[in-house]
Chain A
Amino acid sequence: MTGIRKRKINNAIAMGVAASCAAVGLGLLLLILYDVLKNGLSSFGWTLFANDPAPPGMEGGGLRSAFLGQILLTAAALAAGVPAGVLAGTFLSEYGRNMKLSKIISAVSDMAVSIPSIVTGAFVYAILVKPFGGFNGWAGAAALAIIVLPIIVRTTESMTSMVPWSLREAAFALGAPYHKVIMGVVWRSAAGGIFTGVLLAAARAAGETAPLLFTSFNSGHFSLNMGRPVPSLTVTIYQYAASPYESWVSLAWGAAFAVTAAVLVLNVTGRLLIKLRQGK
């Protein structure tokens, strides 16, 4: 009789420990969101979007250039990374689906998703910053594109290989050549899934700091010239948060809130799209 009692007590203790782990883990993470929200909202206002950074100590500075720079860098990275990634992923699941090369590329891009982003930054510095004599926006966009590329390759590959072969065969039977089958049938069927991948990749790119540090760097002046340093929200956070000036720290919180909100919105939208598609 004591045996079963002891086992029940052990069970209650273990389940209690598991539940408190969940409470601590989730609690900590919600605390982070709460702190970002609280500090970020207090620095939110019209000036945050309309003004450029003020000199240290002066009030009323904003992050206009960092917002625009961040959008510019992310958009340029997607403009390069998405088409290349979709084409590469298509090769892996269509033309090259039985080739050994495709298996290797597929495994390599899976690993490439997790290359430490600071290593990517150092690589781009060596090929696009050092030879051209200075930090520039193109280098930043290239670093983000390298981060985005394997994500798009992997999603495209898995989404297009989920399209049933009978659909392709129906199109072949009508006499369509393979490239038209891919563009008209495969891509069309997989478009929703690929779009979700693009949203998630955009979220990843928008939150990266380390690869921009050595490439597009930062600039306090309003400049959208991609040949020069381009400001970004994340590098601004990195530099301002550790500064001794209260107005800069407040700007950093505002930027942190904006980045977090953007990343979460992109992720939630992506996941909702997946849900909707599965619901059909």
Chain B
Amino acid sequence: MSADHRKNLLFKALTCLAAVSVLGIVVGILAVILMESFPALKHFGIGAFLGGRDWNYTREIYGALRPLTGTVVSTGIALLAAVPLSLGTAVFLTEICPHRLRGAFGAAIELLAAIPSIIYGMWGLFVLAPFLDEWVQPAVGSALGGVPLIGSFFVTKSAGGVNLFSASLVLAVMIIPFITSIARDAFEQVPDVLKESSYALGATRWETVRKVVSAQSASAVGGGVIIAMGRALGETMAVAYVIGNRHASLDSLFSPYTTITSVIANEFNEAGGIQLSSLFTLALVLFIANFLALGVGRRLVKGKEK
């Protein structure tokens, strides 16, 4: 065996080791989080933990229902607000915007996606939450507050704008650049020939977008939205400030509440024993949910390319 051959084998082994370590880390994360969650899962049982309403420090009973609800509701509202805005922006970027400006606008959107989430969180705390508190919440409250059954859901019960609604909107602002850039890429993938054929038949721009572009890009855009959902589920710093982290029943959209990430961020460093294990279980739920969303989303985005 020559010296070169041996060196080559050594180098190959080194690169292989590095590649396997990536796999090892991801498997390790899952294994360690699973191990740390075990005491809580054993103590409460999976069903009782996931469906448990209590998060009680003195009685040491912990259940995931409220953080889960908070995460699902805030992500849902964020998507409701961000998806139409992002799709509109993507249509503007691909159909209306003058060609000369497209590059600059596109780059700006991508840069905004890179701004750290703590910055969005801080902006939410100092700018968005006070604004919503002063202008939006009273208006919504007086418009919908009187509606039977659901009216109380829109009444402001605590001041300051620290509530589930503010947190959802911060999340929405944060995922706008993300969904926009995926939707723009998907729209641009639509072959020009198809669009030109549509115009040649006399269709307007809107008709072309609605019937040709959207049909061609639907699965990729849907995938992008699901990936964005995964992102919103796992987002911590953007919601940690404005959600309020309050363990109580969800009586109003404008009341402080809790999410999986905010309860972990707020309580992890002071927790021990069964509470810490419960927080790890929440992290496990998040890891799995994010992985599923990503798997489905990526499949949809890639499906068209093959």
Residues 92-112 of A, flagged 1 when their CB comes within 8 A of B and 0 if not, give: 101110000110110011111
Judged by DSSP, the binding face of B is helix
Q: Judging by beta carbons under 8 Å apart, are B177 and A29 in contact? A: yes
| CA distance in complex: A15, B287 (Å) | 40
Q: Which of A41-49, A51-59, A258-266 sits within the interface?
A: A258-266
Q: Does A228 contact B (CB under 8 A)?
A: no
- Contacting residues, chain B, for A11 (C-beta < 8 A): 204-207
Are the C-beta atoms of A119 and B287 separated by less than 8 Å? yes
| Binding stretch for chain A, among B40-48, B52-60, B121-129 | B121-129
Q: A35-B126, A111-B294, A237-B118 are in contact. List 15 more A-B contacts (CB 8 A).
A: A15-B95, A85-B18, A108-B23, A109-B22, A117-B234, A118-B234, A119-B33, A119-B287, A178-B11, A203-B114, A263-B115, A264-B111, A264-B114, A267-B110, A267-B114
Number of A-B contacts (CB under 8 A): 265
The minimal Cβ–Cβ distance linking A53 to chain B, given in whole angstroms, is 17
Contact status B116-A209, CB under 8 Å: yes
Given A94-B15, A207-B118; A118-B236 close (CB under 8 Å): yes
Which residues of chain B in 53-106 are interfacial with respect to chain A, using CB atoms and an 8 Å cutoff?
A: 84-89, 91-93, 95-97, 105
Q: Is the CB of A25 within 8 A of B123?
A: no
Top 4 nearest A-B pairs (CB, nearest first) are A21-B88, A116-B234, A207-B116, A91-B15
For B, the interface residue count at a CB cutoff of 8 angstroms equals: 91
Partner of B125, one of A101, A110, A242: A242
Are B88 and A22 interface neighbours, CB within 8 A? Answer: yes
Q: Are B111 and A267 in contact (CB under 8 A)?
A: yes
User: What are some 5 contacts across the A-B interface (CB < 8 A)?
Assistant: A14-B206, A14-B209, A17-B88, A32-B123, A87-B17
| Residues of A bordering B, CB below 8 Å | 7-8, 10-11, 14-15, 17-22, 24-26, 28-29, 31-33, 35-36, 39, 84-85, 87-92, 94-96, 101-102, 104-105, 108-112, 114-120, 122-123, 125-127, 146, 149-150, 153, 177-180, 182, 200, 203-204, 206-210, 213-214, 217, 234, 237-238, 241-242, 252-253, 256, 259-260, 263-264, 267-268, 271
Question: Who on chain A is nearest to B235 by CB?
Answer: A116
Contact B287–A116 (Cβ < 8 Å): yes
Partner among A20, A105, A119 whose Cβ is within 8 Å of the Cβ of B283: A119
Complex Cα–Cα for A17 and B96 (A): 11
Indicate if B7 sits at the interface (CB-CB under 8 A): yes
Binary contact readout B163-181 vs A (1 if CB under 8 angstroms, 0 otherwise): 0000000000100110010
